[in-house]
Structure formats: C-alpha cells, structure tokens
Structure 1
Amino acid sequence: MRNIFTSTPFLAIVACLLWSTAFAGIKIGLQYNLPFQFAGERFFLAGLMILPFALAQGSYVTTFVRHHRLILLISLAQTFVQYALFYWGISLLPAGLTAITVGTQPLMVALLAHYTLRHDRITWRKMAAIVVGISGVVFIAVGKGLEGDGGWKPVLGLVLLVLSNVSSGIVNIIISQKNDIGSPITISSMQLMLGGLLLMLFSWVVEPFRGFDFPAVYYVSLVWLSAISAVAFSIWYLLLQRKGVKVSDLNVWKFLIPVSGALLSWLLVPGEGPDVFALTGMAVIGGALLLYYKKA
C-alpha cells in the first residue's frame, strides 16, 4: 500500500488535482487585485510556507551556494516569466479558451522533450494520444464558454498562455536533467520566494500599488493558492528528478486538470452541472490516457 502512495502516477495525480483548484482562486483574486501583485504575493507566501521544512533539512544555504545559478534560472523562468504570462493571459480570456490553451501544455512539453532529450522521443502513438487528450479538453471547455470580448485581447491572451506553456516546458526539461540539486522542498521554497519577489517588484513598476486592504475572500483565495503551489511544486520537482521518469510522460497527467476542475465546479458552484460536452470530454481524456500508457 505504501508503494501506491509514493508511486509516480499517484503523486502526479495529486499534484494535478491540487493545480486544478487554482483557476477559481485566481479568478476570485483578480476581482480585487492586479495580476502581477496578486501572483507575486501568492508565490512569495508559498515559498515561506515550506521554508521551515526546507530549513529543517539542514542544507538550505549549502544548496543555494552550490546551485544558485540554476535556482535563479528556475525562479526567473518558472515563477516570474511563466506566471507573469499566465496571470496576464488568464485576465484577458474567457474560461473556456483558458482551459483549452492551458490544456495544450502536454503537447508543448512532448515536442520540446523530443527535440532536446535523447531518451524522450515522441512516437506516433503518443502524439495521437496527446491530440485526443486535447480534443477532450476542447469538449470540456465548450461548456465554459468560448466567446470573449472581441478585439485584440483574446488574441493577446492566447499568445501569452502559449508562451507560458513554453516556459513551463523548458523548466520541466531543465529539472529533469538535474539529479543532484538537493531536496525538492528546498528548491521549491527558494524558487517560489525569489520568483514571487521578482513578480512583486515588477508589479510596483508596471501596476499601481493596490495596498493590502482587501476583503477576507481575497485572502482565503491567496492562502489556498499559496498552499497548493507549495505542495504541488514540491511534488512535481521530486517526480522530475526520479530516475527513469520521462518529462513528456509526466506532463500527460496534466490532462486531468480540466477534468478535476469541471468536477469541482459542479460540486461547489451554484448552477453548474454536467452536460454532454463535459462528459464526452472526460471520456475522451480517459481514453487518451489509456492510449498513451498502453504497453506497446
């Protein structure tokens, strides 16, 4: 039983389920605060949450001294660039288009891995499974609404989210190639705090400072988002460093994020309920995962 709870598929599913709860929290927070300030506060707080656990391992300073260049690179590319693009993009798009664009991340990672990692080549069967998975995301997203405000904002939002996917894929590949960078909790704490600090500094330059006078619901969403980032990133970095784990295989589990997000909205949001598009999409994504992991 213990092996099940520490297995790569189980931990990947846990991380994806946590990430799937983020969309609602982000939308709530963006009602009160501007994107970069909100994102900076979220990730800086996430790093602080796991700082005591990282310090307890006794190698915090040593890890930073030995791997400071890599940590700064991850902080810049993962937390600062990826989430600056993500928060900006999600503020410009309706929920359906956001889900579709984010749902293409497994394809983006698989293509990047194919051209950068010798041991992680994509096959026609894997490509077919990823395309099927994206089709399932589209079905689920249809029920969320694809119509935006028109004009240039939806186009810019799509471009920003695609670039966010690319940034995430690059960082995943970098971490998967590093097996000696220390504890995933330590790395996660460092990059979240540094990236969050960069986002906050950037927000003070490009956004009017909103202060901290927000309603309680804002801080509930902030704390929840910070907590899921702290846990999910620590899990993900652990899995990326595991021997034999391919970055493209791991990222396919992210197809579960829109599935879990839809289920949560049915349970928690008044007036939300299953429809034929969402149910079809879930079935398609399930088939895609089976196809992807089917023994050749």
Structure 2
Amino acid sequence: MKDHPLSSIPLLAIIACLLWSTAFVGVKTGLQYCGPLAFAGSRFVLSGLLLVPLWWSRRPRPATVLGNGGLILKVAFFQTFALYGLFYLGLTLVPGALAAMVIGASPLVSAVLAHYLMPGDRMTPIKTVSLLLGLIGIAILSLSRQPWTSPAGLSELIGIGVLLLANAAGALGNIFVSRHGSALEPVFLNSAQIFIGGLGLWLLSIPFEEPISLTNPPSFWAALIWLSFLSASAFSIWFKLLRKPSVKVSELNLWKFLIPVCGAILSWILLPEEYPTVWSLGGMGCISIAIIIYNLPALLNPAAGLPDRR
C-alpha cells in the first residue's frame, strides 16, 4: 500500500526537520561559553542517556548487540562523531542562518551517494531538477558572502566547505542505517550510536579545549538540554522512517530542505546580530521551490499516493 502524501511518513519527516531547524540557534548560543567538541560531546552523551528508558524494557539480547557492533560503530562515527564534529566546527566560522542553509544541501549529497550505494535508489528527472535548484540556492548563499574580498569572507567559505563535509558524513550514516539497521530497534540504535559518538567527541575535546564550566549562565544550560532532547527525538524518528521498506534515502532526505528555511528564520528572529538580505531570501526561494517541485505530483494527485518518480 502506497503512502498518502499527508500520511505518517511526510508528517514525521517534517516534525524531525522542524526539530533540527532549531539546533542552529541553540548551538550558536552554547558556543559562546564552551568549545565546540566539549559542547557537542556533552550534548550527545546526554541525548543517548535520555533514550535509555524508552528501549530498556525491550532491549536487545547481548548477542544481537555484539553481532551488530560494527554497524553501531559505523553509524556512531559518521552520524554523530564526524557529522557533528564538523558541524560544530563549521558553526564557529559562519553565521547560524548561513549554516542552516548550507546544511540544506544535505539532500543533494544524500541523493548522489544513494545513487551509487543504494540499489533501486537512482536519480530521476524530477529529483535531479529539485536537487539542482537546491544547489543553486546554496551557491547563491555562498557567493553572496564574497569570500574573495576579506579574511572574514574566506573564513566563511572554509566554514561552508566544512559543513558540506558534515553533510557527506550524515548521508553515509543514513545509508548504513537504511541498509543494515533492520536487526536493531531504531530507538536503541540511535541511543547507542549517539552516546558512543558523543563520548568520542568529548574525549577528543579534553586535550584541546577547556572543560565546561558549571558557572555558565542559564541560557547555556537551556541550550544544552534542548539540543539533547531534539537529537534524541529527531534521530529516533528519522531512523524509524529509514527502516520502512517504502522509504528511499534520497527521497526522505529531500525533506531536509525544510531545515535551512526554518533554521534561518529562527536565527534571524532569535540572534540579534543576524538579519535577512536579498541574497539570503533568494537562496531560500530556490530551496523552497525545490521542495514544491519534488512534491507537486503527489500534491496534485493525492489518491495515487507518493509517486515513484522514475
């Protein structure tokens, strides 16, 4: 049975993306008081622990965990350690709104990698047009920073490159979950990988950064708690969707085009030093049109469900 365009898959994907879109403000707030590795590591260790009560009553057998240990470590490395280590580093170089929109290129990276690594998940004309429009939006945002005119612009260009590498790491993590994650309950897999990845980031921070100070203001602790909650909830939703046989990695990740738009708007509202420009609005427009084009067939013909788009 095909999924209705307003069924649980799109709805859950939108909820996860809306949760993720709030991360940019929270991370920029926390980085004012703490190094990126220590902050990221603390966030994800706490996220993993928050999920333990949700899977403990149906915890897998030790033999199942050991048999899937390689998968857990791979997902932990790509989906948390590499993705968020690069993400937090990139956010020290670029404004929150710009970071939100660069992370919006993740559907393009996911689609290209899935084309080569996931059987049956190929590029299609509609998917290609949507992704190219999204890429044009990212290019507009990147070039609008004029990196050739100042050291600050060059730093932001480097930050954009770091964030694109983060996109690639996250896409590989998604592919591993989609291909090999069926033996593990998604909440347990998320809890394990996010805790291990966070612990790795925290350990890496020890020789390079100062430990988190207990005297940090309430805004820091509020950001840390919120970020830990959203990671626990959003990733659990996402892993559940990736396990559905009808869901393709590239198509699910197209919903992530919502993240840059919502994340940028929240950054402009909540971060006093950030504001919209003609270029940023133009880039957001391209990204929004990409989402509409991709989903237009299903919206025009809801009785047919989500088309295969081949």
Tell me whether 183-192 or 94-103 shows the greater mean CA deviation.
94-103
Are the equivalent residues in 2 in contact too, given 1:133–1:255 (CA < 8 A)?
yes
Tell me whether 258-267 or 84-93 shows the greater mean CA deviation.
258-267
Distance 1:246 1:88 in 2: 30
Are the equivalent residues in 2 in contact too, given 1:75–1:191 (CA < 8 A)?
yes
Return 5+ residue gaps in structure 2 as ranges: 298-308
Distance 2:224 2:117 in 1: 36
Alignment match, 1:237: 239
Are the equivalent residues in 1 in contact too, given 2:45–2:194 (CA < 8 A)?
yes
Distance 2:166 2:285 in 1: 27
**Secondary structure at 2:152's aligned position in 1?**
coil
The two structures have a TM-score, normalised by structure 2, of 0.84
Distance 1:31 1:277 in 2: 27
Alignment match, 1:28: 29
Q: 5 Å matches for 1:46-195?
A: 46-59=47-60, 61=62, 63-136=64-137, 149-150=151-152, 153-195=155-197
Deviation at 1:140, TM superposition (A): 7.3
Tell me whether 190-199 or 100-109 shows the greater mean CA deviation.
100-109
Distance 2:161 2:206 in 1: 24
Tell me whether 255-264 or 233-242 shows the greater mean CA deviation.
255-264
Q: What is the RMSD of the two structures over their aligned residues, measured on CA atoms?
A: 2.8
Are the equivalent residues in 2 in contact too, given 1:5–1:11 (CA < 8 A)?
no
Q: Which amino acid aligns with 1:67?
A: N
**Secondary structure at 1:150's aligned position in 2?**
helix
Alignment match, 2:301: none
Deviation at 1:136, TM superposition (A): 4.2
Deviation at 1:268, TM superposition (A): 4.3
Alignment match, 1:17: 18
Aligned length: 293
Q: Which amino acid aligns with 1:111?
A: V
Return 5+ residue gaps in structure 1 as ranges: none
Distance 2:5 2:117 in 1: 31
Tell me whether 256-265 or 78-87 shows the greater mean CA deviation.
256-265
Tell me whether 73-82 or 175-184 shows the greater mean CA deviation.
175-184
Deviation at 1:284, TM superposition (A): 3.6
**Secondary structure at 1:118's aligned position in 2?**
coil
Distance 1:19 1:55 in 2: 25
**Secondary structure at 1:259's aligned position in 2?**
helix
Q: Which amino acid aligns with 1:214?
A: N
Are the equivalent residues in 1 in contact too, given 2:50–2:232 (CA < 8 A)?
yes
